[in-house]
Amino acid sequence: MSEASPLHVQQEGGVLVLTVDHPPVNAFTLPLTRALQKALAQAARDRTVRAVLLRGAGRVFSAGQDLTELQAVAGESLRRHLQATYNPLILQLRRLEKPVLAALHGAAAGAALGVALACDLRIAAAGTRFLFGFSGIGLAPDSGMSLFFPLLLGLGRATEFALTNQALTAEQALQWGLVNRLAPPERLEAEALAWAQSLAAGPVQAFGLTKRAFNRALLPHLEAVLDYEAHLQDVAGRSAEHREGLQAFLEKRPPRFVELPEDGAL
């Protein structure tokens, strides 16, 4: 029997709706990032697609990178992993000359938060938690998080939430500009689709040029930033801190980062 696809793609009028569906927590795997890349390439090509809505099925938007998959490739280069997965995905989201709206609920963590922040707009269900995530498993930020997180939150707040790995609440996310709108959980789906449809009715070429202008003004070095993140993650990925962070997550216990063996090779 073939595995169910982790991404549902359906068109509602001018909106391409991408629904991540990988129970229990929509963790990002290689097949999922590949499916997202393919769907965004389709969105770029297809003139009938005038806006994209990215959302998650089930209890959360996404818990970020699938840590069981990460454990399975332990010892392999995280640079290569990022070059195949999040780096092209983030660039596609920013370069797509059509509006991309993310609808978030439950939780958005780690690399999935990076993906959500690379979208143009965000609407979140009340009660959604926003988790930096990377530091919990001894990693540095990737998926554009080193840029989008401080850009949207401000350096002081971004540093605090990165180093404490505490969750931001939906209200904080709204107040500090991480999301544009909140909706009651039971209204999220309808409000997100209505917003995406109103975007699809807008001047798509002017929207595309607006994205281009914002990218040029604020994100001209995005590709280099992603590449540098991949370099740093390659270092972090070989560390004792990462091994301990990942092991602790899988064993469902708090990590013990003090008194680890030295990483002579770093």
Sites of contact with ligand T3D (CB under 6 A): 24-25, 27, 59-60, 63-68, 70, 78, 81-82, 107, 109-111, 131, 133-134, 136-137, 139, 142, 233
Question: In sequence order, which residues have a C-beta less than 8 Å from that of residue 164 and are 6 or more positions away?
Answer: none
Q: How far is the CB of 131 from ligand T3D (least distance, A)?
A: 5
Query: Which helix (DSSP H) or strand (DSSP E) does residue 155 occupy?
Result: helix 155-164
Rounded to a whole number of angstroms, the minimum distance from the CB of residue 3 to ligand T3D is: 16
Beta carbon of residue 164, minimum distance to ligand T3D (angstroms, whole number):
13
Closest contact distance (angstroms) between CB of 20 and ligand T3D is 13
Q: Which residue is at the shortest CB distance from ligand T3D?
A: 110
**Dihedrals φ, ψ of 129, to 5°?**
-110, 140
* Cβ-proximal residues to 226 (8 Å cutoff; 6+ apart), any chain: 82, 86, 87, 90, 91, 142, 144
Nearer to ligand T3D, 38 or 59 (CB): 59
Shortest Å, Cβ 83 to ligand T3D = 10
Q: Answer positive or negative: Cα dihedral of 15, 152, 112, 216.
A: positive
Q: CB atoms < 10 A from the CB of 189, how many?
A: 17
For ligand T3D, give the closer residue by CB, 27 or 51: 27
In the complex, minimum distance from the CB of residue 111 to ligand T3D, in angstroms, rounded to a whole number: 4
**What does the alpha-carbon distance between residue 231 and residue 139 come to, in Å, rounded to a whole number?**
12
CB-wise, 14 or 62, nearer to ligand T3D? Answer: 62
In the chain, helix, strand, coil percent, each to 5?
50, 15, 35
Nearer to ligand T3D, 27 or 153 (CB): 27
Closest CB to ligand T3D among 131 and 162?
131
Quick one: which of 111, 109, 107 has its CA closest to 143? 111
Q: Rounded CA gap, 134 and 30, in Å?
A: 18
- Closest to ligand T3D by CB, 214 vs 257, is 257
